[in-house]
Amino acid sequence: NAGVTQTPKFQVLKTGQSMTLQCAQDMNHEYMSWYRQDPGMGLRLIHYSVGAGITDQGEVPNGYNVSRSTTEDFPLRLLSAAPSQTSVYFCASKLIAGVVNNEQFFGPGTRLTVL
């Protein structure tokens, strides 16, 4: 198993550009989520999904869209990039959404800079 994979690893955008961060997992996990990590802020939840076709907003959803058309993929779209979206983005997944005893696995992260 490749686990959770993210592409690209690094990206530089200009203000106003749009792009999609890709996330895929091959563990047949039900639950997938996107976090952003800023210095001194810990991890903050952007959006999450409990299965194909089901998504919901996290703590900081503004400026981001998601969709979950398959169990494996959970792309994160930046509609019009802003400097405030400069951050490291982590995708994560776990087997079952609402169950306590299952570990959440993280992808390697995407470092995004918006100029």
Partner 1 sequence: EDKVVQSPLSLVVHEGDTVTLNCSYEVTNFRSLLWYKQEKKAPTFLFMLTSSGIEKKSGRLSSILDKKELFSILNITATQTGDSAVYLCAVFDRGSTLGRLYFGRGTQLTVWP
Q: Which residues bind partner 1 (CB under 8 A)?
A: 33, 35, 40-45, 48, 50, 56, 58, 90, 97-98, 100-101, 103-109
Q: How far is the CB of 18 from partner 1 (least distance, A)?
A: 25
- Which residues in the chain belong to E strands, given as ranges? 4-7, 10-13, 19-25, 31-38, 42-51, 54-57, 64-66, 76-78, 87-94, 105-106, 110-114
Q: How far apart, in whole angstroms, are the C-alpha atoms of residue 53 and residue 36?
A: 22
Q: Pick the closest to residue 54 from 68, 36, 66, 74 (CA basis).
A: 68
- Residue 27: both structure tokens together: 């563990």
Provide, rounded to whole angstroms, the least separation between the CB of residue 17 and partner 1.
25
Closer CB to partner 1, 10 or 103, in the complex: 103
14 or 103: CB nearest partner 1: 103
User: With respect to partner 1, which residue has the nearer C-beta, 65 or 106?
Assistant: 106
Q: How far is the CB of 16 from partner 1 (least distance, A)?
A: 29
In this complex, which beta carbon is closest to partner 1, that of residue 26 or of residue 56? 56
